């Protein structure tokens, strides 16, 4: 070997793998060794067998400058949202959340009053969803604010729902509407830029309450879990929509080893989101497919449950599951068939 030969090890940028590629890469050599570890990495929650039922555990981290901007995010709203995004993962497995732990790292620019405001939002979420704060950690940060919340829930063993159970001919259903949270973020970022260029300008947020709420103070869909219970429905698969409908549906299809067909004309989009998309000269359907942070539930059910949900105004059938060989397809409004692509949020891009 020449002394001049470059011995620098190769470097693979994390953006090349993406968030889920990285998770798969670093977890592939970890085996579950305990009988109580029923399911590990690869779904919305880890699943622990505690005897009579399964315990569900999920963790999310929110980083200032990556997941939130304190220029326009009130600390109380941030505390509330940080809890909700974790509870949504519990609901995505048909479970009920019971406890949370909260860990924060913050710099000395945050006074006690700011921390109190943050925890008031956390408290309000605990009250709204009937969960208990049972622990956590606090430490210092040299830059900004970091929040890490772990949610713990439970589910009867015969009612747990994974991403991997979708079957050919199942109906694909979403709760609520899509794209509003993304458009709320675009609106906030636009007004921030206006303010930075001219601090005397007042933000133009009139008549935008709904899409701003969807971004700043989302809600997890406990009501859908209650609906399943009342109708006797156990979805065949489910996932929450945090990274965008297209990304989540592709995760679901990959886990279930199936394909899908969804229809652009069926996507549930609020009228305020449509008008705001027109303001920004972007497609409302693109926002619905790729925007993320909706925290709605995407699930599949057998066609035998069609009558039970067909008249529910908060549920929309957007397509159906196909054989894997057919791929994942979006049928546009002009009836073009195109491959469904994952263009939603990628934490490492």
| All structural domains of the chain with their residue ranges | 34-156, 163-339
Which residue bears the tokens 């570890």? 37
Contacts of 129 (CB under 8 A, 6+ apart): 83, 84, 87, 97, 220, 222
Cα separation, 163 vs 178, in Å, equals 20
Output the CA angle 248-253-256, nearest 5 degrees: 125
pLDDT in the model for residue 206? 79
pLDDT in the model for residue 348? 41
pTM here is 0.89
Reading the chain (349 residues) residue by residue, the pLDDT tens digits are 455 555 566 777 766 666 656 656 666 676 767 778 766 667 678 999 999 999 999 999 999 998 999 999 999 999 999 999 999 999 999 999 999 999 999 999 999 999 999 999 999 999 999 999 999 999 999 888 999 999 999 999 999 999 999 999 999 999 999 999 999 999 999 999 888 888 877 777 878 999 999 999 999 999 999 999 999 999 999 999 999 999 999 999 999 999 999 999 999 999 999 999 999 999 999 999 999 999 999 999 999 999 999 999 999 999 999 999 999 999 999 999 999 988 754 444 4
**Identical fold between 34-156 and 163-339:** no
Tell me if residue 315 falls in helix, strand or coil: strand
Which residues is 103 bridged to in the sheet? Answer: 137, 148
Distance of CA 67 to the CA centre of its chain: 12
Please provide the CATH number assigned to the domain covering 163-339: 3.90.650.10
pLDDT in the model for residue 138? 92
Which residue bears the tokens 């491959």? 339
pLDDT in the model for residue 345? 45
Which residue bears the tokens 């790729």? 290
pLDDT in the model for residue 313? 95
34-156: what fold? 60s Ribosomal Protein L30; Chain: A; (3.30.1330)
Cα separation, 137 vs 335, in Å, equals 53
CB 291 within 8 A of CB 178: yes
Does an H or E element contain 123, and which?
helix 112-129
Give me the sheet containing 337-339, strands edge to edge.
237-241, 296-301, 171-175, 315-322, 259-263, 328-331, 337-339
CB 256 within 8 A of CB 237: yes
Tell me if residue 62 falls in helix, strand or coil: strand
Q: Which of 315, 314, 268, 261 is nearest to 287 (CA)?
A: 268
pLDDT in the model for residue 208? 93
The number of residues in the chain equals 349
Distance of CA 197 to the CA centre of its chain: 33
Tell me if residue 261 falls in helix, strand or coil: strand
């Amino acid at each position: 070997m020449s002394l001049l030969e470059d011995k620098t090890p190769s470097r693979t940028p994390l953006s090349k793998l993406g968030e889920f590629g990285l998770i798969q890469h670093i977890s592939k050599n970890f085996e579950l060794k305990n009988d109580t570890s029923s399911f590990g990495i690869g779904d919305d929650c880890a699943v622990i067998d505690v005897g009579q039922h399964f315990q569900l555990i999920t963790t999310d981290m929110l980083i200032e400058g990556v997941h939130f901007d304190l220029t326009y995010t009130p600390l109380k709203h941030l505390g509330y949202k940080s809890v909700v995004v974790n509870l949504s993962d519990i609901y995505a497995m048909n479970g009920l959340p019971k406890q949370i732990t909260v860990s924060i790292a913050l710099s000395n620019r945050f006074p006690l009053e700011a921390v109190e405001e943050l925890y008031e939002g956390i408290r309000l979420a605990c009250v709204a969803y009937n969960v208990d704060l049972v622990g956590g950690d606090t430490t210092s940060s040299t830059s900004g604010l970091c929040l890490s919340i772990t949610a713990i829930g439970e589910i009867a063993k015969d009612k747990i729902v994974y991403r991997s159970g979708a079957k050919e001919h199942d109906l694909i259903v979403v709760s609520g509407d899509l794209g509003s949270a993304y458009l709320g973020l675009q609106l906030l970022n636009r007004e921030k830029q206006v303010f930075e260029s001219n601090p005397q300008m007042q933000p133009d947020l009139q008549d935008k309450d709904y899409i701003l709420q969807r971004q700043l103070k989302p809600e997890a869909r406990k009501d859908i879990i209650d609906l399943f219970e009342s109708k006797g429905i156990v979805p065949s698969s489910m996932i929450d929509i945090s990274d965008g409908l297209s990304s989540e549906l592709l995760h679901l299809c990959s886990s279930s080893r199936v394909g899908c067909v969804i229809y652009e004309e069926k996507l549930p989009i609020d009228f305020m989101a449509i008008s705001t998309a027109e303001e920004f000269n972007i497609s409302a359907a693109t926002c619905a497919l790729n925007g993320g942070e909706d925290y709605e539930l995407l699930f599949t059910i057998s066609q035998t449950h069609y009558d039970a949900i067909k008249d529910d105004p908060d549920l929309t059938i957007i397509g159906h599951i196909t054989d894997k060989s057919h791929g994942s397809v979006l049928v546009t409004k002009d009836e073009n068939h195109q491959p469904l692509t994952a263009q939603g949020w990628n934490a490492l891009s």
